[in-house]
Amino acid sequence: MLWYRRDPATVRTALARGESPDLATTTACGPLDELIALHDELGVFGLLDEVEVARQRAGLPDGLLLRTLATLPFVAPASLSGAAGALFREPAILLRLGWAPVAIRDGTNGRHRHRDGRQPESLPCHPDALRDALRRVGEAAWARVQRAGVGALYDRRLVRGQVYAIDGSGLGADLRVVALVCVSGERPVIAAWRFLEGAASEKGKEASVTRALVEQALDAGGAGTIRLLLADALYADGPLLAWLACVQGIDALVRLPPDRCLYRDLEALAAGDGLEWRTHHETRTVRGHKARRRVEAAGVGGLTSWDGFVAAAAAHGQPDATLWGGLIREEDPATGTVATWGPVSTRDWPGAFAALQAYRARWHIEDDGFRELKEGWGLEAQRWGRDAAVVRGRLALTCLAFNTAQIYRSRAGARVATMGIRRLRRQHRPELGAAPTVIYVNGCYGVFALEDLLALLGTRVRESLLPGRRAPTP
């Protein structure tokens, strides 16, 4: 590698003699620069520098490759080669990630896989080198990165609200992700996730995953981080509900399927006039379309039909614990069909309609979470590789980038991003303007305002937009 020292005088002299620079780039900051600065400010790049890999790659630091991979989710093309190609055309960002100018210009080493030699798309490295870097990182290492990366958000108080939702989504054949998401803040933030492989039965397994994710979020945010957990029945069984309510002080609101005994008991109560139905009319906006909807809701407390919950609560020292349950009937204004479903909760809700309103926050995990990850970030269609090790790394880097983007779009995150940009600009004088240029020549580099650069090349501007410069003190 050829390292350059900061020496503006030498660069000025070389340009005055008409020498051609090795490299020229701007330091202007756009949205991508700000996202990368925020990513760095939140400590993601530092975590990747410390990741343990199965074996070291000769000639190219793994930390540099992982920092580059962590930047790719922010780039518009979702595929690995497409995102890398777009990023490799941004020398200012590559320099910020740690690539040396000579590597950007000539590549990292002599390795290439094309019969005609190194191709332009392989500068500074071939996309396969990035994919291989993901394969060398183990599951435990990604778990540590996840905990530390999300923990930094809690440490800075960037995760707001105490309502969380859990759900899972497929990433391809026999590949799934289960995520715990804070859905009550300004924008949803992924608090914890698990990458699951195989086609084994999920019954009785997803509740244990839920518990592990809740424990991880509590470790990051402390006691009281979660006040209400929204879940589908697949991710919550009786023992989990008892553990949440009796041990952690967390209320749960779960949507029951019709085949559960408690759901059938609620239907029997409704048939025997044991439930008091109330009719509500509301206007809902779904994907930009408003519709008037009729909702009938009924609920009752003191239920003990979930044997697993009752037994587990007794084991936790609360033998008198009961559940609240309800039935919801929603009429589709377009088709006139009525859908019925049953919420159950460890909290006694004042009414079933109030429980319905609370449960609707769960849709953020699907509409603003998984759908955004798949359609906006290309997580499912472009997994960057076929083997699970690559997909696991792609998932981890994308979830971290997703959180950074969510924080960036919030008011608090914008302030942190500004701090990161200011750190990057400390080496530049204020009088250089918003888009100074960096020139590399003869082993030296200098940062110049555009007006000064034109003057060095023999063309002076008539009017300058730079802030007025103070005359030297005699």
> Is there a domain that residue 32 lies in?
yes
- For residue 55, the model assigns a pLDDT of 72
More reliable by pLDDT, 133 or 257: 133
**Cβ of 24: how many Cβ atoms within 10 Å?**
15
Q: What is the count of structural domains for the chain?
A: 2
The yes-or-no verdict on residue 455 having pLDDT over 90 is no
> Is there a domain that residue 193 lies in?
yes
* 201 and 270 housed in the same domain: yes
More reliable by pLDDT, 262 or 447: 262
> SS3 string of 353-420?
HHHHHHHHHHHHHHHHHHHHHHHHCCCCCCCCCCCHHHHHHHHHHHHHHHHHHHHHCCHHHHHHHHHH
* 75 and 164 housed in the same domain: no
Give residue 168's domain range.
Answer: 159-376
* 236 and 271 housed in the same domain: yes
Q: What length does the chain have?
A: 474
* 133 and 166 housed in the same domain: no
* 132 and 200 housed in the same domain: no
* 171 and 297 housed in the same domain: yes
The overall longest dimension of the chain from CA atoms, in Å, is: 98
The yes-or-no verdict on residue 308 having pLDDT over 70 is yes
In this predicted model, what pLDDT tens digit does every residue of 28-87 receive, in sequence order?
A: 556 777 788 889 889 999 999 998 887 776 678 889 999 999 999 988 888 999 999 888
The yes-or-no verdict on residue 201 having pLDDT over 50 is no
Contact 304, 310 (CB under 8 A): yes
Looking up tokens 């609200």 gives: 161
Contact 359, 351 (CB under 8 A): no
Nearest alpha-carbon partner for 304 in 359, 238, 236, 251:
238
* 163 and 259 housed in the same domain: yes
- For residue 423, the model assigns a pLDDT of 46
pLDDT band at 469; cut points 50, 70, 90? very low
* 128 and 178 housed in the same domain: no
Whole-number Å distance between alpha carbons of 203 and 205:
5
> Is there a domain that residue 338 lies in?
yes
